[in-house]
Every structure is written in structure tokens, then in C-alpha cells.
Structure 1
């Protein structure tokens, strides 16, 4: 196709555009300098006449997006470009552009630009809330709940998978409370042995055990007037659960090796990835302690339950990495976007941040491609496990045929790995996640 200085006859351009728009939608033909050669009838209607032959394509959009548009065209591949805000009122809120490279021999002579109205943002604007970012309605509703809970002295139990932001939530509760000027202390109950954890929580006196050469106040006393965050509280051994319950009831601690109770003034925020009600049923957690800790329960959704946040969060992390210097990534390739959107994100936002850092380091150029994503994005899940049902290989099963008991057995066999459990059951990972969300045990 000759799109050079001599151009195509007007009738030939019209015929080409009619053919393109019949299967590709609104289309604009531009030359190698991004000047508009012609617009199809659908494109002219969509842009409301604000772009004419001879103008540069970027003139139809906000000036700040011109560099993004040029970088996308230089990549010479057919893919979606980030939504470009319309430059004039009365136009669609935003458009998505897809560029098809037009060549003459081995030489690029321009592009066919296909337009589509971008989907509306989820029910409102984005929000950055004490380190937690979202544009999803359920997260914004959670932020309002955190604000209400922060105004009270009630104990809060934060439930969520690893990487969902449990400590950020706890710190937000502290910062928004009347205790904000007091200390914020955090301890992971799963990271220490029971004896060391008891000393870290309640303190010890000199000579209480070998190596105790001086008194130690412990986290409860160090958090006096402020907030103590107990992460992974479900991992506390039963003996320590009884001692923690006593502290909550008496508002005092007895250091290891000590005899006198010492008053403490602390608000407790606890967190766990387990359902405490189920832990109580299994005899691994005290019911009376659960009720003390779970006055206000907060449930943090996993990243896969926030699909509208995945790509915007990835883009935010890339911008942070770009700001450090070195490689400047402007956008994702279409296959990379698809892989990021479909990946189950077992490590949630923390994993997404790490994946972006990996891809930023491993690749080159302004486009982050699928080849730059970590190996787990390219390997099919290999369970290496004996199927739960014998006989011929199963196709994907209807979700109605797979019960919660089946899912629990599969999760038990796979040590909680949801991707492997879905493969064993012959259902999709999305179906498994949907069924788990209906699990009454999640309310614990």
C-alpha cells in the first residue's frame, strides 16, 4: 500500500477504510509521521469530527499522552495502548487504540489505527489509602470500614492471604486512631519459638533463663499508649493463647520469671490467613480468645478478587522502578497484559511488585514483553500428584459437581496450593476460587 507523498486516490482510500471498518471497527489511516491520511465513517463519528486529514493523530488527545502514543507506534506490533483521554468535551471518556503496521516491501509506511471506547472505570476514582491503592469498589468500602473501626478502642482481627496488606491495614488503624501519637509495634507470631515469643511479648526479668542478663519490657509494655500488631496470631501455641487471653482480660502482664503484674494500655490488632472459627473447631485455637480478638473483623480481598487493580498496580510499580533510572518501560505487550491478568497471584500485591521488579531488570526497551516475566508465567502447573478420581482423564468439570468437601480434600493433598488442587479436581482455578468464596468457613 503506497501511503507516501503521492498518496492513494481518494476512492481507493475510502474503499480500503470501508473494508477495514467492516471487521476492525472505527479506523484511521496515518502515515509514517503520524499525519492523518483518512478517517473511516465510523471513526469520524466516534471522534465527532475533531480530527481531520492532515492533522497529527496526537492532536485528538491530551498533549501529555503524545509520548505514550509515539512509543506504542514505534513498537510496530498490534496491541492495545493505555486508554487515551479525549482532548475535548462531549467525546467518549477514553479510547483504546490498536495499531496495525502498514508496510511497503520491508519499509514501514504508516499505520491503520483501530479505535474502541474504553470500558468505564469500576464505580469511582482511584484511591491511595495509607499505602493501599485501589480503584475497586470493594476495597474503597473496606477503607471506610477501617476509618470507622479506627475511631474505637475495639480489638480488630484482619483476615487475608499473604501479601494482601495486613500490616498496612494495622498501621492505618493506628494512624487514624486517638493512639496515633503512641508507638506502633508489630510481631510475627509464627516467626519465633514459643519460649522466645513469650519473652518478646510479655518481657522477662534478669536471670529468668540462660542469657537473660537484664530486664526486658516486651512488646506489650513497649507499645504502651499505642497499638500492638500480632501477625499470624493463629500460630500461637495453646499455652501462650491462655496467657494472651489473661493479658486482654486484666490489662496487665507478668514478665517471664517475674511475680508482679504490670499494667499495660495497648490496643490489639491481630491478623491471620486462617479462618479462626475453623481453628477453634479443630481444637487449635481458644474460642474465648477468638471472641476477644475478633470484635471487629476485617477481610482483605486477594488480588485475584480485585481484577481491575492488577494492571493499574503493575503500571504504578513500573513507574516507581522507572523513577530510579536505567530502563524506562512505557507499557506492556498484549501477551504480557493477558498473562498478568490471568495469573492467580498466590502472593498477591507483594508478588506483583516482585514480578515487576524482575521483569524491569531482565528486559530491555520501552515495552515489557511476556518473555520478561518469571518462569512460573510460562510453565503449566505440574502437580506430580495422584488424581483424586481414577479412570480416564477428566475434562473440566461443572462447578456444581465439585463440592466444598472435594475442594478441602484437594487442598489438603496439595498443602494448600490452589492451582494444583484445581488441576486435581478437573476444574478451572477461577471455579475453585469462586467456590472457596462461598465457603462458610471464610467468615471465621
Structure 2
């Protein structure tokens, strides 16, 4: 119990906890608050919360209302009128007699901020809204933005890691635009999109007659990006022979065009990106260890959209506003069921997939309200509950301890990802991790 509440222990111990709690809930029904258990099931949703949000979520707590820690924050949700309502939320974890998390309780108050599709998102509690084209107000992204700012002031090579569609190129462009190289070119190459021969020519250029079809000299991106920034997307797909050549460019700051006979200087800052773990690629022999260390001087990890649920509503309305500006169709409201489906969706394709979903809705629907029938087919397919593909089998306590430790290692300590790998809820994983002292 917080120190600020100084009730005598002997008095508290003498209370009947069930009746006392029930009396407290009855007195506070006009307040907007709710209680969840450790599995994030809704145990109580006050009448005040129902009036404020315009709905009762049912048994399962919506993603934006989950209680995983003691927090005070602003969260976006769907309001009673179908617009985006920003609420202030004060949440506290509840603990059982053994000190393990037993759930949580949260108080909701209106933030006097209702955003529609035509309005520019407002800043809330100092959170970022639009950082160099990256739309987010998630606490998980604040550290990313700070690393981008700091890295941009240097010439260090940066490695951006994130899932497909999470915005790796936007991070690279932000680093370039904030750096002293901002007035020079920013060029991007997808290392997975070209064959080895074409990729070598695209990176380093070639001279006339270097191979069949080379009828004139061709400048590669290292030469065309002189003085600027080169973004190497999906760098883990780079063939081993080109990895050696890239390592030389980084070390020596020069390169040889295909078929050339003289070295050309390279004044280029490299920002690389991958959705794979380069350390794992090194272990399997698919990537050079020395190149890995040269590329990941400053590593930046972009959390997937499913781990920053508070950004979903913000991005939905951002992309709606972009399409509204084209005057083909104006959306100023989202049907509550459609919004619930959008908020609950797993978003395996991240921000790019969300952008495509909004474009689909504008293409197939009409009218001022985005409806459930205007969402792609995957939103109407029945949900199936299946274990995670990479879930680790849990049997005896010793095996369970080892599996939890392995999940933490694979996820580099990220609890949400580790819980997914272990096939547990985040609360269960946290409790068992504490139990085993991991």
C-alpha cells in the first residue's frame, strides 16, 4: 500500500475485505474506473466508465486499457460519438498476499480532447505526434527518437532493426535530415530486391565493357550519394562476396567499380536495416562478423505496432486525414465495431499494413462513416486460437525455467516478445520470471 495512505494495520486486518471492497465500489460508481485480473480479464467496469467511453468492453480488456504497470498517461480510444476520444488514465497494479501481480485498477478522466479525421492530432502529455514523418505517441518510441537525434549529430554507422512495414526507411531518412549531410543526397537500395550481379553494379557502378550489356559507364549509389547518406535495406540478404566489398568501403572509404582499374573515394554515411538478427546470421555463417560490428555501431530497434497499441488510433486518423485531403471521400466517423476490430487486430504488416487497410476502406466504401464491411476480408474471418509458432514447450519446473530463460535470451530481454515465444500472457510470464529469479 502506498505510504501516503496511513491507515492502522490492526484496523485494516480486522475488516471483511469482500464487503469493504463491495462498499467502496458502490460508493464510486459515478467515477470512471475499472478492474482487471492478472490475465487482463475485465472484473469490473463502472457505470461511470461506461458513460465516459460509451460502451462496455465485455470480458476481455481492450489493448489500450491493459494494465501492465503503474502509469499515468493519455490514451486514445473510441468515444460515444464515434470520434477519437483522448482519456487520462491513472493505473495501479494490484498484488496478492505473496507479492505477485493479481491484476490492476485504473481511473479514467476526460482529457477534453476529441479528434476527428479532419483535425490535426494534438500533443498529449508531452508525447511525440510527428517526429520527422514518424507518427507516434507511444512511450516505446521516445527512446528511439532520442537515439535518432543523438546519432544524427555524429557520423557513426547505424543499424536499424524492425519488422517489415515498421518504418525502417523513415528512421534512416530522419537521421539524414537531422544530420550535417541533410543538403546532400539520400539514396536507398533494397539488398533483397536484386541479383548479386545487378546489386554489385547498383552499389559500386561499372565501367563500359565490364560485362555483356555494359555499353556505357554507370555510377553506383556510393558515387551518386557522395556527401550524403546511403540506406541499405535488408542488409542481411547481401551475398557474402559483396559483404567483403562493403566492409572495405566502410574501412577504407573507397571502392572499385565493376570492371574498373582505379579506386574511387566514398564520402557516404551508411544506415543499414534488417528484419533479421545479424548475430544469428553470423552464427549460421550467412553474415560476416567483422561487417556486423562495423554496421551496428549504433543499433536502433523499432518496436512492432502490436507493442505500441496507443499508436493505432493515432495512425488510423492520420491516414484518414491524408485521404480526406484528396477530396474523393470524406470520413469523419468510424463505426464502433469497425474501430474495435482495428484496435484488436495483430497488425503483422505493421504501419504499412494499417496504411493499406485505410486505403482499401476509402476505395471500396462510400459515405462519411468507415464501416466494418469496408475492412479487408481478414477482419471478418473467424479468429482461431493457436499456440505461437515459436512457442517453447513447458513441462517440468526445470524445463519451464530453462524455456523462460531461453525466451528472454531470444527476445534480448523484451518481456512482451519473450512471453509470446513462451506461449504465455505477459502477466503470467512476469510472475513466473520473478518466481524463478530470472
Q: Does the pair score TM above 0.5?
A: yes
User: For residues 171 and 200 of structure 1, what CA distance do their matches in structure 2 show?
Assistant: 20
Query: 5 Å matches for 1:181-330?
Result: 181-330=183-332
Deviation at 1:325, TM superposition (A): 1.6
Quick one: distance in 2 between partners of 1:360 and 1:229?
32
Name structure 2 gaps, 5 residues minimum: 1-25, 33-47, 53-77, 88-108, 115-121, 392-399, 411-419, 434-438
Counting only pairs closer than 5 Å after superposition, residues 21-420 of structure 1 correspond to structure 2 as 81-83=83-85, 92-94=110-112, 123-380=125-382
CA contact (8 A) 2:207 2:259 kept: yes
1:305: how far off? 1.1
| Structure 1 segments unaligned to the other structure (5+ residues) | 1-20, 28-41, 47-71, 86-90, 97-119, 390-398, 410-421, 439-444
CA distance in structure 2 between the aligned counterparts of 1:167 and 1:217, rounded to whole angstroms: 23
In 1, Cα distance between equivalents of 2:386 and 2:228:
49
Residues 303, 349 of structure 1: 8 Å contact kept = yes
1:56-77 CA distance string (max 9 Å, x none): xxxxxxxxxxxxxxxx99xxxx
SS across alignment from 1:268: strand
1:161: Cα distance to partner? 0.8
CA contact (8 A) 1:123 1:137 kept: no
CA RMSD of aligned residues (A): 4.1
Any conservation in 1 of the 2:234–2:275 contact (CA below 8 Å)?
yes
Query: Does structure 1 retain, via aligned residues, the 8 Å contact 2:162–2:168?
Result: yes
CA distance in 2, matches of 1:371, 1:154: 48
How far off is 1:306 after superposition?
0.9
Shift of 1:246: 1.1
How high is the TM-score relative to the length of structure 2?
Answer: 0.64
Q: 1:180 to 1:84 in 2, by over 3 A?
A: closer
**TM-score (normalizing by structure 1):** 0.63
Asked whether the 8 Å contact 1:330–1:367 carries over to 2, the reply is yes
Distance 1:383 1:217, change over 3 A: farther
